[in-house]
């Protein structure tokens, strides 16, 4: 009953620094992500979570190892092919929204489609559909400065989804949000995972945020040390994540 494999990494190594002064941040990670997974990556500060996410999402390159996206090793493709893969297969959500100030929310959400030459009417229809799903329908004609942080992040999430990407990468998506807006965003991410079968990989230091995922991977000392899987209950999962953090004793902030 297993779903389609979306991403696979094999023996991933990442070193920073110059020759002779290198630090090995990722020390040989193997990982498989399947369609409809919702994975949170946690770990102590500086453990390499963002580095891993950036490599998986093609923003950064590994020192060694393969990153297979949809069956293609993205470390080996041409820049042109990489741009195409990013455009068609990947959605990004960042902590600081990255909406364009000079465009309305509707145009921001539709941007990945309009850049692809999709007719304006279709762009608007799709943007409106997502805005409705994310409770933004009344705000479509506003500019980012007229929106709250939560509305901006829901807008950025809508934009990430508009091309129906194979996988959505989110780096601390609730990092700049208050608790109500965080809960709201996470509920909606869970809905797109459940209903649209979207695949989500999110980095977070926050146990509450992670408890919305189906699986939590703990990165420490350059390796994935353990995996926690949710049962039926989010609250019980949250308690187990907190227990695991306490048992590791690290700084997860
Ligand atoms: N461009 C870079 N050059 C050199 N070292 C880097 C670079 N980027 C990250 N590092 C180092 O690699 C390690 C992992 O960084 P990374 O940002 O991936 O960790 P993280 O787990 O996301 O941390 P945090 O939770 O604090 O955001 C850190 O020690 C960091 O200082």
Does any ligand 1 atom lie closer than 6 A to the CB of residue 14? no
The pLDDT of residue 119: 95
The pLDDT of residue 196: 86
Nearest CA to ligand 1 atom 11: 46
The pLDDT of residue 2: 55
Residue 161 lies in a domain: yes
C-alpha 11 – ligand 1 centre gap (Å)? 19
Report the run of H or E that residue 85 belongs to, with start and end.
helix 79-89
C-alpha 46 – ligand 1 centre gap (Å)? 5
Report the run of H or E that residue 202 belongs to, with start and end.
strand 200-203
From the CA of 47, give the closest atom in ligand 1: 21
The pLDDT of residue 87: 85
The pLDDT of residue 96: 84
C-alpha 149 – ligand 1 centre gap (Å)? 26
Nearest CA to ligand 1 atom 26: 45
Establish whether this prediction's ipTM goes over 0.85. yes
Strands 38-42 and 215-220 come out as: parallel
Residue 5 lies in a domain: no
> Which residues are CB-neighbours of 207 under 8 A, at least 6 positions away?
42, 238, 241, 242, 245, 252
Which of 19, 42, 45, 48 for a ligand 1 pocket mutation test, highest count of atoms within 8 Å of Cβ?
48
The pLDDT of residue 19: 83
DSSP state, residue 35: T
Does any ligand 1 atom lie closer than 6 A to the CB of residue 45? yes
- Domain extent, residue 125, equals 35-58+80-250
Residue 163 lies in a domain: yes
Does any ligand 1 atom lie closer than 6 A to the CB of residue 49? yes
- Of 81, 87, 50, 56, nearest to 69 (Cα)? 56
- Of 215, 203, 220, nearest to 241 (Cα)? 215
Sequence length of the chain is 253
Nearest CA to ligand 1 atom 18: 48
The pLDDT of residue 20: 84
Nearest CA to ligand 1 atom 1: 16
Residue 6 lies in a domain: no
* pLDDT (tens place) for every residue of the chain, 253 residues total: 457 999 999 999 999 998 888 999 999 999 999 999 999 999 998 999 999 999 998 889 999 999 999 888 999 999 898 888 888 889 999 888 889 999 999 999 999 999 889 999 999 999 999 999 999 999 999 999 999 999 999 999 999 999 989 899 999 999 888 999 999 999 999 999 998 888 999 999 999 999 999 999 999 999 999 999 998 899 999 999 999 988 887 667 6
Residue 17 lies in a domain: no
CATH number, domain of 119, equals 3.40.50.300
Residue 121 lies in a domain: yes
Does any ligand 1 atom lie closer than 6 A to the CB of residue 205? yes
Report the run of H or E that residue 33 belongs to, with start and end.
strand 23-34
Return the half-sphere exposure (C-beta side, CA atoms, 13 A cut-off) of residue 212. Answer: 24
Contact 209, 39 (CB under 8 A): no
Q: How many domains does the chain have?
A: 1
Residue 233 lies in a domain: yes
Residue 208 lies in a domain: yes
């Amino acid at each position: 009953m297993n779903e389609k494999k979306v991403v696979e990494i094999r023996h991933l190594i990442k070193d920073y620094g110059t020759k002779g002064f290198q630090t090995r941040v990722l020390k040989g990670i193997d990982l498989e992500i399947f369609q409809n997974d919702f994975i949170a990556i946690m770990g102590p500060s500086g453990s390499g979570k963002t580095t891993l996410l950036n490599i998986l999402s093609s923003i950064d390159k590994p020192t060694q190892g393969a990153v297979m996206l949809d069956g293609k090793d993205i470390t080996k493709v041409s820049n042109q092919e990489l741009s195409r893969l990013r455009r068609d297969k990947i959605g990004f959500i960042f902590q600081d929204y990255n909406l364009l100030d000079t465009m309305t929310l509707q145009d921001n959400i539709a941007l990945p489609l309009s850049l692809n030459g999709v007719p304006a009417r279709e762009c608007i229809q799709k943007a409106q559909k997502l805005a409705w799903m994310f409770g933004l329908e009344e705000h479509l004609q506003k500019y980012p400065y007229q929106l709250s942080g939560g509305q901006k992040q829901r807008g950025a999430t809508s934009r990430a989804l508009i091309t129906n990407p194979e996988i959505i990468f989110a780096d601390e998506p609730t990092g700049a949000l208050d608790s109500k807006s965080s809960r709201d965003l996470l509920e909606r991410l869970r809905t797109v995972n459940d209903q649209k079968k979207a695949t989500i990989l999110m980095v977070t230091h926050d146990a509450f945020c992670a408890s919305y995922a189906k699986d939590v991977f703990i990165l420490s000392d350059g390796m994935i040390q353990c995996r926690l899987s949710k049962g039926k209950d989010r609250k019980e999962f949250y308690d187990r994540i907190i227990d695991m953090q306490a048992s590791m004793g690290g700084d997860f902030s």
